[in-house]
A and B are shown apart, each in its own frame.
Chain A
Amino acid sequence: MLAKNLFALNAEIALRRPAILVTDLAAGAQRLVRRDEAGRDQLAGVLEQSFQSGASGVVTVDGAQLFIHVHLPCVRLVIVGAVHIAQVLAPMARLAGLEVAVVDPRTAFASPERFPEVDLIAQWPQDALPALRLDRRTAVVLLTHDPRIDDPGLVAALDADCFYIGALGSKKTHAKRIERLRAAGIGPAALARIHAPVGIDIGALTPPEIAVSILAELIAAQGRKALRAEEAA
């Protein structure tokens, strides 16, 4: 690999922009294709499809074996609410390979002592989230129970079409939340995208158990692999 390709690829990754590295496995020739360059590339069809699917693999073009290595932005989790569950969920999500940020305007909660080694932002979601540039490779989980903090985060996550949006609270709490958001003009399709009560139903009681159920639901929402039940059907 040429160092200049490596540096350019890292620059795209830092900006959360997708890129593909194309390598001729026999000749060793290699080039980097940025997302906005794919359309006019000689391999436009293959590259567009690869950007869509996110799947890397070997293709044969004119007798040459090319490795199409897709680099999508790292999956990221933004947690709104520096609460007890967040203290467990943040390190668990990092172990699972996610980039994690925690947002909470209450500085007593959002303290570095409670959240070592986490990107911690002690601001209101409406102030913090624009700079984080939420996208489809981002999951947002709302954990404060306080509509003044949770709701702006929820609206931003829906606007950005985040792949997973979860909100803590009972069915009753969620019904009230739905009422508020509907009154604020959010449509039914968007409201149906909110996972609430948050997490898969495993009878979780403690904060670590709830964190496991949230992380499991988030992983499933990526749909990278057919579930065993789907394969059997």
Chain B
Amino acid sequence: MTTADDAILLEAENWVRSGRRAALATVVETWGSAPRPVGSRILVDDQGHFLGSVSGGCVEADVISAALDAVETGKPRLLEFGVADETAWRVGLSCGGKIKVYVERIDGC
């Protein structure tokens, strides 16, 4: 953990306590030269504001879009990005890495 990782969780608590609807996305598995380690998080609110990173910029747009869905539906999702996948090039994970990202809404207060 770094202070930056801790800060995201603290901010998530602030958002939830102040009534902001939000989702967390977490890197759960990586292969190859993935840019961010397992456990890295991104916090997204229902307006698309976000903090943190799961890939150093490559797949953030898709993750944020999935997080917005999760805020609406409440359904968690497991996303996979990698070189074997055409979308990996499109979204920019061209570094040869592969990552799985778990997206979940923060529920109840």
Residues of A at under 8 Å CB distance from B? 1-4, 6-7, 9-10, 13, 23, 25-26, 28, 30, 55-58, 67, 69-75, 94, 96-99
Contacts and interface: CB of A to CB of B under 8 A. Distances in A.
Given A3-B16, A9-B9, A58-B28, A25 B3 contact: no
Given A96-B2, A97-B2, 15 more contacts: A3-B13, A3-B16, A4-B108, A6-B16, A13-B9, A25-B78, A25-B102, A57-B28, A67-B102, A71-B1, A72-B1, A74-B2, A74-B6, A75-B1, A94-B3
20 contacts: A1-B105, A2-B108, A3-B106, A4-B108, A6-B9, A9-B9, A23-B28, A23-B104, A25-B78, A26-B78, A28-B76, A30-B104, A56-B28, A57-B38, A58-B28, A58-B100, A67-B102, A74-B2, A96-B2, A97-B5
The 8 A-B pairs of least Cβ separation, nearest first, read A97-B2, A28-B76, A56-B39, A67-B28, A3-B109, A56-B38, A74-B1, A3-B108
B86 interface: no
Contact of B3 (A3, A56, A97): A97
Nearest to B75: A28
B13 A6 contact: yes
A98 B2 contact: yes
Contacts of B109: 3
Q: Main secondary structure on chain A at its contact with chain B?
A: mixed
B61 interface: no
A70 B29 contact: no
Contacts, number: 75
Nearest to A73: B1
A9 B5 CA distance: 12
A28 B12 contact: no
A28 B26 CA distance: 13
A75 B106 contact: no
Contact of A67 (B1, B10, B16, B26): B26
A52 B85 CA distance: 35
Contacts of A26: 78
Given A13-B9, A69-B26, A2 B1 contact: no
Contacts of A3: 13, 16, 106-109
A49 B12 CA distance: 28
B95 interface: no
Interface in B11-57: 12-13, 16, 24, 26, 28-29, 38-39
